[in-house]
Amino acid sequence: MSTRFILCVIVIFLHLVEIYAQRNGCSLTFPIKDDRNEPIILKHHGKKYDLFIPEEGKIHLKSGESVSLFCPYTRNVLKQSNNNFTEAICMNKETLKVHNIQYPFNQLQCSAPAKGSIAFTNTRCGNNRGKIINIGYKIPDNNNWITLIEVCYDSNEGNALYSQHVLYGEAIKYASSQKYRPSFQENGVIGNLTANSAYKQTNQKKVLVQLLGSESLANKYLNKTSFLTRGHLAPDADFLFAGLQFTTYFFINTCPQWEAVNGGNWLGVESMVRKVAESYQKPLRIITGSHGVLSLPDINNNLQNIFLDTRGILPVPKFLWKIIYLESTKEGIALVSLNDPFIKKISNEHILCPDVCNEYGWISKKWKNIAKGYMYCCDIRILQKTVKTIPSLNIRSILRKI
């Protein structure tokens, strides 16, 4: 009997064992019916942990393979173990074993919704204006940190220059549709700023009256239908699991955005980007940031920069931008939004680059509606010449919408 024949038999046998293990392993389906208190599901290689990314809405495990169920946040634990970090072992189908007791996967729940935390760094960013603050998860009893969102934060002005994250186009179709939304956390916000109070409409009115010198003029911009909202930079719906979506709710991941813009064309752009990611079926790197400070005419018709704090912090940006970057091909495009629904006409000061939307298939007729947030598209390499806070990217060509 030849050595080659024996090797072929061994390979075939191992392949059959692999198929048998997969068939008799576990297949965890997402999203589950009620995922408000779903744990964060982690895979590990030795002491290294990372997020599981489902394949076609399922996480596949071999029989006996273990996963870690994590319930981050204060006094949050997995109900079945009374611990916030628990190992679960695949038994079969959707059954996992925790502390020698078998449970259907959808019954393994945290005592409260999972939420993340922040980690400060000394890494400079945004043309040296800010420092990186990571939003994510600290693994208990381990030096591991899992970053979900990287924020470039300017602590002098209380301003998020940009946030960046990964949008998994191959899995976004199966993302959670959980309706629960947590309160925004102030962790990381500069110490002398209470962001929650700054965003209250009573404060917005008070500050705008002071800046413009007129209550009636402030009423033109602030009323029941027109106000500044906490505009997500990295949006919750870009993330797969409920707990990951909840972790986007930090003030450092927001900037003041007019409600008409946030709920108008900007909302449409976020939805479009997810559809493009799904079309490509690949991970996209999404970088979203702010630029400039919005100015409005005061009672003497002099332009005044607008902030949510009279000390000149928490600026209302004039522009928001979103970069969609396909790292595997080095293609990318930037979408720019004018955060000023009050102007009557677009002029040169509102255009940061030549518009390439039509040329690359990104055009939408709605985008030219100023009242909903005027939008256009930029070659990232050109936009970087004006918006110096954009991080360095290796761009070979402009990303086409498919």
Residue numbers belonging to the annotated binding site for Mg(2+): 262
The single residue listed with the structure tokens 């991080």 is: 391
**Under 8 Å between Cβ of 268 and 368:** no
* Bond into 235 cis (ω within 30): no
Cα gap 402→326, rounded to integer Å: 13
Closest CA to 35 of 199, 186, 330, 240: 240
Tokens of 133: 């603050």
Q: Is 259 exposed, middle or buried (0-12, 13-18, 19+ CB in 10 A)?
A: middle
**Under 8 Å between Cβ of 283 and 310:** no
For CA atoms 54, 58, 62, 67, the dihedral sign is positive
Catalytic residue among 15, 44, 232, 291: 232
Cα gap 290→298, rounded to integer Å: 23
Tokens of 359: 């040329």
Tokens of 333: 């495009």
**b/e map of 178-190 (b: 16 or more CB within 10 Å)?**
beeebebbeebbb
Active site annotation includes 45? no
Annotated binding-site residues read: 262
What residue type is 215 in one-letter code?
A: E
Closest CA to 133 of 146, 151, 114, 117: 151
Active site residue ranges:
232
